[in-house]
Amino acid sequence: MTNDFQQHLNQITKKAKIKYLDISNQDLVGEADLNEFTVLTSLNSYNNRFENLDFLNSLPNKETLKKLNFFGNQLKEVDLA
């Protein structure tokens, strides 16, 4: 069973205070809007089913990200530009 990424995020409260987000091993797929995660510095997302990282573009302060972990996903292409 796969889980919709946006629905999963909708259940999280106080997004503006979260610095470390661990969404690993949730079998997540799809896109999501991360614009409420204004202080996020670390995103741990191993063992999901993401095919791209386009949703990272919705982060308002991308320059504050220090750590990303997408090991074990189904990424086809990664553009870090």
C-alpha angle 79-72-17 in degrees, rounded to nearest 5:
70
pLDDT value of residue 76:
86
Does 81 have pLDDT greater than 80?
no
Does 57 have pLDDT greater than 80?
yes
Residue 1 pLDDT grade (very low, low, confident, very high; cuts 50, 70, 90) = low
Enter the pTM of the model. 0.89
